[in-house]
Every structure is written in C-alpha cells, then in structure tokens.
Amino acid sequence: MQLFIKGEPINVVIDDLLPVTPGEYYVNARPIKDSGAFWAVILEKAFAKVFINYSNLNGGLAPEALRVLTGAPVLL
C-alpha cells in the first residue's frame, strides 16, 4: 500500500493478520473496529504500521487521512 507522509510517498507492506474480537474458535470473530468495510480495517493497519503501533493512533481528522491516502492537498 502506498501512503503519503509529509507529502512523500512511502510503501507500507502489511500482512493479512488483523486484531479481532474473540469468537468461538475465531469462527465468529470480527475485526475490532468493524465498520462493515474491509478496506477501512486494512487502511488502519497500514496507519498503525507507519505510526509504530495501534496505541499511537489517537483520533485524527478525515481530511488528514484522505491526504495521507491520496497525496492530494486538503483544506482543514
């Protein structure tokens, strides 16, 4: 996945392991922040890798996330 940090493109490699809520033998397990859109969970994992871990992701604004994802300038 390519993200744009401070205007510079960086490639982030992520695996297919996601944090999930406990389910019966993980059959019914769901991603912790399941919004119904799988891409959002993958994008969050890429952000967590860039910012070292999930605990460093503390809020944020949607336009800022769009800037990091597209590299396009945004107005806040």
> E-assigned strands of 1-76?
2-5, 8-11
Phi/psi at 8 (nearest 5 deg)? -100, 130
Domain ranges of the chain: 2-70
CA angle 20, 22, 26 (to 5 degrees): 85
Residue range 4-58, pLDDT digits in tens: 888 889 999 988 777 666 665 566 666 666 566 677 778 888 888 888 887 887 7
pLDDT at residue 30, as a whole number: 62
Q: How far apart are CA 71 and CA 2, in angstroms?
A: 10
pLDDT at residue 18, as a whole number: 73
Q: How many CB atoms lie within 10 A of CB 44?
A: 19
pTM, entire model? 0.64
pLDDT at residue 11, as a whole number: 93
